[in-house]
Chains A and B, each alone.
Chain A
Amino acid sequence: MITVVDLHKSFGDNHVLRGINDTIEQGEKVVVIGPSGGGKSTFLRCLNLLERPTSGQIIFDGEDITDPKCNINLVRRRMGMVFQNFNLFPHLTIRKNITLAPVKLGLMNREEADARCDELLKRVSLSQKAEAYPGSLSGGQKQRIAIVRSLAMNPDVMLFDEPTSSLDPEMVGEVLDVMRELALSGMTMVVVTHEMGFAREVGTRILFMDRGIILEQNTPKEFFANPKEERTKEFLSKVL
Chain B
Amino acid sequence: MNIFSRIIEFFSGGFSRIVSVLFGRGRWMLIVNGLKVTLLLSFFSVIIGTVIGTVVALIKVAYVNRPKSKVLKALNTVATLYVNVVRGTPTVVQLLIMNFVVFASSSNMILIAVLTFGINSGAYVSEVMRAGINAVDYGQTEAGRSLGLSEYDTMKEIVLPQAIKNILPALGNEFITLIKETSIAGYIALQDLTKAGDLIRFATYEAFIPLITVALIYLVIVLGLTKLVSMLERRLAKSDNRR
Q: Which A residues are within 8 Å of any B CB, using their own CB?
A: 48, 50, 73-77, 79-81, 83, 85, 87-91, 100-101, 104-105, 132-133, 135-136, 146, 149-150, 153
Contacts and interface: CB of A to CB of B under 8 A. Distances in A.
Contacts of B180: none
A101 B149 contact: yes
Contacts of B148: 73-77, 101, 105, 153
Contacts of B177: none
Contacts of A88: 143
A149 B144 CA distance: 11
Given A104-B153, A132-B243, A135-B243, A87 B145 contact: no
A87 B157 contact: no
B28 to A, nearest CB: 48
A contact face: mostly helix, strand, loop, or mixed: mixed
A81 B146 contact: yes
B147 interface: yes
Nearest to B142: A50
Counting chain B CB atoms within 10 Å of each CB, which of A73, A85, A136 scores highest? A73
Question: Ordered nearest first, which 3 A-B pairs have the shortest CB separation?
Answer: A77-B148, A87-B143, A101-B147
Interface string B152-164: 0100011001100
A87 B140 contact: yes
Contact of A77 (B147, B158, B240): B147
Contacts of A81: 143, 146
Counting chain A CB atoms within 10 Å of each CB, which of B139, B148, B149, B153 scores highest? B148
B157 A83 contact: no
Contact of A135 (B139, B145, B146, B242): B242
A133 B242 contact: yes
Contacts of B145: 50, 73, 76
B5 interface: no
A153 B147 contact: yes
B139 A87 contact: yes
Counting chain B CB atoms within 10 Å of each CB, which of A83, A101, A149 scores highest? A101
Contacts of A101: 144, 147-149
Contacts of B243: 132-133, 135-136
B89 interface: no
B11 to A, nearest CB: 49
Contacts, number: 69
Given A104-B153, A133-B242, A135-B243, A149 B139 contact: no
Nearest to B243: A136
A85 B140 CA distance: 10
Contacts of A90: 162, 240, 242
B150 interface: yes
Contact of A83 (B143, B158, B162, B241): B143
A79 B240 CA distance: 30
Nearest to A74: B148
Given A89-B158, A136-B242, A136-B243, A83 B153 contact: no
Contacts of B157: 100, 104
Nearest to B146: A81
Contacts of A105: 148-149
5 contacts: A75-B148, A76-B148, A81-B143, A91-B239, A104-B149
Contacts of A133: 242-243
Given A85-B139, A149-B147, 16 more contacts: A50-B142, A50-B145, A73-B149, A77-B147, A77-B148, A80-B146, A81-B143, A81-B146, A87-B137, A91-B161, A91-B162, A100-B149, A101-B147, A101-B148, A135-B242, A150-B146
